[in-house]
């Protein structure tokens, strides 16, 4: 063991696992007063009294055996299970860091510190391995630290650095090596999902996943945790992906929906739709449930005219929901998305939906919330979902308003989220990351293909039009 330590760290005169100059405890800021930006500017120490400049002096032995500093130099949005006193970050920190040259520079210096330790070097964002095989020699918890680093780089806005590091590490891993297991490789790969071109359909899926834990536990407030341990995708997401796949391939919609439904049989389908999935040749069952609206969002993104969008939404709906109200709910939702992503104002969207579909959108969420109950019909949930969007001030607020009504939370979240995404064109990274890590790889692949085929060529055009909404 001693020889292994010498091999890893060399014969160091300094055998301390801390640092030489510890800040007196009375000068350490209370936890609730900690400002992480000030830590990166050497104005405030961490919870152990160490300034950023002190950690930069860590030798390899100190890096290896100190387990309470990595959460400070590579902060993430997630609370540390082992060091709950460590800070977390949010969008405000990200913005501060990107606009503070000293803090940003020092963040990069600590990244370089740890990169050097694991045998890599960064020069102008180009990351290369300097010590071949070093990854295989390091204790396992360094694989967890690498996961943290990949996440932290993404979450502070250095996405390209995260991608570069990921590829540099992967290129050094031998295919037949058992030193780094498949589970670790999967975790590393998941950190890169946010850097892939899957920036559309996130809105509907986010609303579904966030609402999943409130579907049968209604809440009448906008103040609730967005994600919990059991937050998961449901049938809303499965059928949204199925509809995206249909638009990508042009194959039979019923065949695609049957395929996805039977491969994800426990996604929470309604009884009628579940029975539809069991048929060899399924037929429409005259439904006016909101299942037609929950899955239609891909249609709102792909057609060049509103008329084509309405026609395609009807096709999407009537495969199961051939009742006029079921078709209307799908068309209204797709129309909202089309109008929002082509730059129409909320007032214009509201006017069109009211005049075309007869929905009453003049109510407020506060008025609805008082007596509103669980309702899975299109006519009893689609208007309310649209109202939540119309009343919102940003994407997250839209989702919170929809779920706070206390109804069919996952489906209403999906409908509202799909429209809000098209209008605001900005699903916050902290939501996007939580969503992507809860999805199967095949869903991510469909979303990526959908974005590349239908959105990428028009993305600048849509973004420019959308600026008029803000």
Residues at the annotated binding site for Mg(2+)?
Answer: 234-236, 408, 410-411
Beta-carbon contacts of residue 161 (< 8 Å; ≥ 6 apart): 111, 122, 125, 127, 153
Nearest to 390 by CA among 362, 356, 425: 362
Can you tell me the distance from the alpha carbon of 157 to that of 159, in angstroms, rounded to the nearest whole number? 6
Beta-carbon contacts of residue 407 (< 8 Å; ≥ 6 apart): 218, 372, 373, 374, 375, 381, 384
Q: Annotated binding residues, as ranges? A: 234-236, 408, 410-411
| β-sheet bridge partners, residue 403 | none
| β-sheet bridge partners, residue 121 | 128
**Alpha helices (runs of H) in 177-270, residue ranges in sequence order:** 182-190, 202-211, 235-249, 253-263
Q: State the DSSP string of 359-391.
A: ----S-HHHHHHH-----BSTTTHHHHHHHHHH
Beta-carbon contacts of residue 379 (< 8 Å; ≥ 6 apart): 288, 325, 328, 329
Cα of 3 vs its chain's centroid, Å: 45
Cα→Cα distances 237→168, 202, 209, 253, 267, Å: 33, 10, 8, 16, 9
List the helix and strand counts (H, then E) for the chain: 27, 2
Beta-carbon contacts of residue 6 (< 8 Å; ≥ 6 apart): none
Beta-carbon contacts of residue 196 (< 8 Å; ≥ 6 apart): 444, 448
* Token pair for 271: 């009884």
Count Cβ neighbours within 10 Å for each residue of 125-134 and write b for 16 or more, e otherwise.
eebebeeeeb
Can you tell me the distance from the alpha carbon of 56 to that of 59, in angstroms, rounded to the nearest whole number? 9
């Amino acid at each position: 063991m001693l020889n292994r330590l010498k091999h890893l760290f060399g014969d160091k005169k300094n055998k301390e696992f801390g640092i030489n100059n510890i800040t007196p405890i009375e000068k350490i800021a209370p936890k609730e007063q900690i400002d992480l930006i000030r830590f990166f500017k050497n104005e405030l120490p961490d919870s152990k009294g160490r300034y950023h400049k002190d950690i930069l002096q860590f030798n390899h032995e100190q890096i290896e055996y100190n387990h309470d500093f990595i959460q400070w130099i590579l902060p993430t949005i997630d609370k540390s299970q082992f060091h709950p006193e460590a800070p977390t970050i949010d969008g405000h920190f990200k913005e501060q860091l990107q606009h503070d040259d000293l803090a940003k520079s020092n963040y990069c210096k600590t990244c370089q510190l740890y990169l050097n330790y694991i045998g890599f070097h960064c020069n102008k964002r180009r990351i290369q391995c300097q010590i071949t095989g070093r990854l295989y020699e390091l204790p396992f918890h360094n694989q967890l630290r690498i996961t943290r680093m990949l996440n932290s780089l993404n979450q502070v806005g250095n996405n390209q650095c995260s991608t570069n590091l990921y590829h540099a590490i992967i290129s050094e891993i031998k295919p037949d090596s058992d030193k780094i297991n498949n589970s670790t490789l999967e975790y590393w790969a998941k950190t890169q999902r946010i850097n892939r071109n899957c920036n559309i359909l996130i809105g509907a899926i986010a609303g579904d996943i966030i609402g999943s834990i409130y579907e049968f536990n209604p809440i009448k407030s906008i103040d609730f945790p967005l994600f919990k341990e059991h937050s998961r995708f449901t049938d809303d997401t499965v059928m949204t992906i199925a509809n995206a796949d249909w638009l990508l391939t042009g194959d039979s919609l019923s065949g695609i929906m049957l395929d996805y439904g039977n491969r994800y049989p426990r996604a929470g389908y309604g009884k009628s739709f579940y029975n539809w999935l069991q048929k060899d040749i399924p037929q429409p069952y005259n439904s006016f449930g909101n299942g037609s609206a929950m899955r239609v969002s891909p249609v709102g993104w792909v057609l060049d005219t509103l008329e084509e969008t309405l026609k395609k939404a009807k096709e999407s709906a009537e495969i199961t929901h051939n009742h006029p109200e079921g078709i209307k709910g799908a068309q209204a939702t797709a129309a909202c998305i089309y109008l929002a992503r082509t730059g129409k104002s909320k007032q214009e969207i509201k006017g069109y939906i009211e005049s075309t579909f007869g929905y009453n959108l003049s109510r407020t969420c506060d008025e609805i919330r008082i007596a509103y109950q669980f309702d899975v019909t299109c006519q009893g949930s689609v208007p309310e979902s649209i109202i939540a969007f119309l009343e919102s001030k940003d994407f997250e607020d839209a989702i919170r308003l929809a779920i706070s009504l206390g109804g069919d939370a996952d489906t209403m979240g999906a409908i509202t989220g799909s429209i809000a995404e098209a209008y605001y064109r900005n699903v916050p990274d902290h939501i996007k990351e939580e969503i992507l890590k809860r999805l199967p790889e095949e869903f991510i692949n469909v979303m990526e293909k959908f974005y590349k085929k239908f959105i990428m060529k028009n993305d600048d055009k849509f973004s420019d039009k959308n600026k008029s909404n803000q």
